């Protein structure tokens, strides 16, 4: 009788040790998961800050583009006035009109080039934002999966449960 009681105490002690070890491992995994979640949250905040910064840059670019477009419109109006002036028969200003037309074409080409450059930069920025956002979302999804897996029973805890069941059956037979 004492022998069985001693074995029972020993088995109970081993089981308690295994449970303690499993609890420590679970706590360690939870801390790691929390650290990863914190890192992902920081990445999300950084992505948000980047988006806000890029929006401010885009607003500035849009203002500059509007100014250039307004300048182009003024120059086009001036060219139109000069063209009408030329058509009224004042040939002495022909060279001045030609120069202004060339300047307008040059400015229009510069404005078109600047617009294309800004559009490509905007597309690149948006692509980078989309990539960063997608990575942050994927990281959050992986963190959630890891958390769910950590909460699921692993092999060691299933083996401990089987040993516990065997002990119960063994004690019941005694």
Residue range of the domain that includes 30:
2-173
Taking a C-beta distance cutoff of 8 angstroms, is the pair 71, 107 a contact? yes
Concatenate the DSSP letters of all residues of 85-98 into one string: HHHTT-GGGHHHHH
Secondary structure string (H, E, C) spanning 1-58: CHHHHHHHHHHHHHHHHHHHHHHHHHHHHHHHHHHHHHHHHHHHHHHHHHHHHHHHHH
- Record the pTM: 0.31
Tally of domains within the chain = 1
Residue with more model confidence, 163 or 72: 72
What pLDDT is attached to residue 66? 92
Confidence band, pLDDT 50/70/90 cuts, at residue 77: very high
Residue with more model confidence, 59 or 174: 59
Kindly report the CATH number assigned to the domain that includes residue 142. 1.10.287
Residue with more model confidence, 92 or 144: 144
């Amino acid at each position: 009788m004492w022998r069985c009681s001693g074995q029972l105490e020993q088995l109970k002690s081993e089981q308690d040790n295994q449970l303690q070890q499993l609890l420590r491992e679970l706590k360690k995994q939870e801390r790691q998961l929390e650290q990863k979640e914190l890192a992902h949250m920081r990445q999300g905040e950084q992505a948000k800050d980047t988006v806000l910064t890029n929006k401010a840059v885009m607003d500035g670019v849009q203002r500059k583009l509007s100014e250039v477009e307004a300048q182009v419109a003024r120059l086009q109006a001036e060219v139109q006035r000069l063209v009408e002036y030329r058509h009224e028969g004042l040939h002495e200003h022909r060279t001045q009109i030609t120069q202004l037309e060339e300047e307008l074409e040059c400015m229009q080409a510069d404005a078109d080039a600047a617009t294309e450059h800004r559009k490509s930069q905007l597309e690149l920025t948006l692509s980078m934002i989309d990539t960063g956002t997608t990575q942050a979302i994927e990281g959050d999804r992986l963190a959630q999966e890891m958390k769910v897996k950590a909460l699921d029973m692993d092999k060691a805890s299933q083996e401990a449960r089987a040993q516990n069941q065997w002990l119960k059956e063994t004690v019941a037979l005694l």
